[in-house]
Structure formats: structure tokens, C-alpha cells
Amino acid sequence: MSDEKTGNLNKLPLDSWHRDLGARMVPFAGYEMPVQYEGVMAEHLWTRENAGLFDVSHMGQLQLHGDGAAKALETLVPGNIGGLGLNKIRYTLLLAQDGGILDDLMVTNSGDHLYLIVNGATKNEDIAYLKAHLPDAITLIHMEDQALLALQGPKAAEVLARLGMSDPAPTDLYFMEAGTFDWNGVELGISRSGYTGEDGFEISIPAQHVETLAAALCAHDEVKPIGLGARDSLRLEAGLPLYGHDMDASRLPVEAGLNFALAKARREEANFAGADKVLAQYPDKAEKIRVGLFVNGRQPVREGASIVDAEGQNIGIVTSGGFAPSLQKPIAMAYVPVELSAPGTAITVEQRGKAIDCTVAETPFVPHRYHRKPKS
């Protein structure tokens, strides 16, 4: 999970805290970040069974203010932002003018503004793109003094409940809902969301208070700090694509397997960036599509490995791969020709001159356990 070797790196507000806990730090998204504490396997399984605390302060936290902010943002994303209820969250895609995916992001309707979380590696480019394409009447604020923690796992809610926030409590939230809460005089922005496939919360807090909160959470026996390594294996098991790997500006939403992000109302309006090109693929006209793979044997396949046909010709590419601790076998994501995308289809991956047999798998590999609102 290291993507940089040189250059000046930023430090997280919790940098010293991570080091004091014995974290191994690596370059990622322009920051020095903890990749593991006691080991990826142990941290992964701990999160699936208990609660893991992730420092995701490298992510970009933005606010959009101004009349018509939702409709203005809709010119750049295919999600129905104007129809988003108060304190509701929507996953959407920031699209280039040709429809390529510049980033994936979460958008919250916070009432008097929109709150956006964008990827750390792309946040500066995202900010520049938004400023270039949004009307001057819309004000963009980069919340650089805010830290962001993610508390994930089946015991996350019971731990958060012990912090004493109430009326209403953050544990009253359902998946993809958010609110503002007071914790000992500190304002927290809390959403019930995350990128592990587990129930959990993301907590925005002023950076000067984040170490106090992190220590308070980790004081509970159910919580351990978790590094980037397990964050990646957890999201891979959950079948969640990672920007810059499983999708990028060369990919359109349909081929990336993100049809759900193309809201019906927006498809009908067809007035978002790259709409003509994006909708030309909808719903099933992409030549290649992102799929999950089960890998036969114990050797994982890695990003960049080739998908080949019977003659050994390159017909696709692996974009994420690794060992799935919950399943005790290797899994991957890849782009394959749509005619080979049905679950159960045999696929051959060529890696370092070796042919590895794989099978197209349904995703998520491990069922999601989100705390969803019951259907009425």
C-alpha cells in the first residue's frame, strides 16, 4: 500500500500517536501513513469481529456553499444531489468532460451546505476541477483543519454509544445518514458509513482534538488501531473499487461496474459531464467490465497482471488483488470482456510468465453488514 518513493510528505495530525503505537509508516497519497501495527491479517480479522479505528485524515473534506450548490454539482456528477434529503449521504462520481472518472466521493446534504469527502490522492486536482467548473456564486471551502477517523466493525456502535453523545445519538443513524454531535464541547460530524463492508462510522473532528478522541476510542477493549494494509484487504473483500486502481479517468461508470451511481432522474436529464458518452454504454453496452475473481491455488494475482485468452493474447487486466483473510484464499478485481463477465466463467491470468486459473465471482466476496433503515 505504498504509492510514492520520494518527495516531501505531509504528516497526519496523529503522526506521533501512530509511531508511539509502533505503526510502520509508508508513503501514501502524499502523506506518511500507518500501513500496519501488529500485522495485516490480524488487523483485518479484528475489524471483521470487533472494531477497528482507521486514520483517514488524508482524505479531502470540502464544503460547497451558495444557492443552487446541489444543481451546480450535478453538472459534474451523475448522482441525484438535488433530491438528497437532509443529513442523507450519496455516493457519486466526479466526471471529466468526456465522462471519465476523476474520483469517487461521498456527498452529504448538511442543510445550509453540501459536505464532500474526496480521495486523498486526488483532492487537490478535485478542488481545482470543481473551482474551474462551478459557478462563481458557489463557494468551496477545503476543511484543512479537520481530521477524519473511521470506526468500523460489528462492535463499532456499542463503543461509540459509550462516549455519551445523545439527543439524538450517532448510533440512531442508519447507513448513509449523518449528523452533528457534541462530545465534551467538541463538535463532531458523524456519518454511518465507511469502506470496509462493515457497520461503522466516519467522524470529522477538529485536528487539535483528534488524539484525545482516538485515545478515548482505543481505551475500549473492542477497539484497535488498524493500518492501510487491512483497510485495503477489507475493501477488496467487500467488492469496493479503489480509485486510481479499479477506476480512473480512462474508465467510464458502466465499465467500472457502477451503474447504480447513474441516477434515473439524471439519466433522463442527461446534463452531467460526459453524459452522451456515459449513457451510450448504459446499461450493458461496455466492451469490458469490472468483475471479481476467485484465484485457484494460494498465489495471489496482483494489479497489472494480464487477462489472456486461449492463444495467450491480452484481453484484460487485473486492477486489485490479494489474499482474503476472511475467506483464506486469494481474490482479485479485473476488467474482462463483457462476454466473459458472468459468475463462474473461467479466466486465465498471466503473471510473471505463469498462467494462473481464476473464476469470475459475484461481489461482494464477503456480505456487507451495513446498518440499513428497515423498508417501510
**Block means of pLDDT (10 residues each) for the chain, length 376 residues?**
63 98 97 98 98 98 98 98 98 98 98 98 98 98 98 98 92 98 97 98 98 98 98 98 98 98 98 98 98 97 98 97 98 98 98 97 98 92
Other Cβ atoms less than 10 A from the Cβ of 253: the count is 26
Q: Which of 292, 304, 306, 295 is nearest to 350 (CA)?
A: 306
Domains 10-58+144-237 and 287-361 fall in the same CATH topology: no
pTM, full prediction: 0.97
At residue 364, the pLDDT reads 98
DSSP secondary structure, 276-296, as one string: HHHHHHTTT--SEEEEEEEES
Rg of the chain over CA atoms, in angstroms? 21
CATH number of 287-361: 2.40.30.110
- As a whole number of angstroms, the distance between CA 75 and CA 313 comes to 40
* Grid cell at residue 55: 486514520
CATH of 10-58+144-237, one of 3.40.190.10, 3.30.1360.120, 3.90.226.30, 3.40.50.800: 3.30.1360.120
CA atoms within 13 A on the CB side of 236: 32
At residue 168, the pLDDT reads 87
Who contacts 134 (Cβ-Cβ below 8 Å, separation ≥6)? 64, 72, 73, 75, 76, 140
Who contacts 364 (Cβ-Cβ below 8 Å, separation ≥6)? 197, 237, 238, 239, 240
At residue 251, the pLDDT reads 98
Structural domain boundaries in the chain: 10-58+144-237, 287-361
- As a whole number of angstroms, the distance between CA 210 and CA 186 comes to 10
Cis peptide before 364 (omega within 30 of 0): yes
**372: phi then psi, degrees, rounded to nearest 5:** -85, 150
At residue 152, the pLDDT reads 99
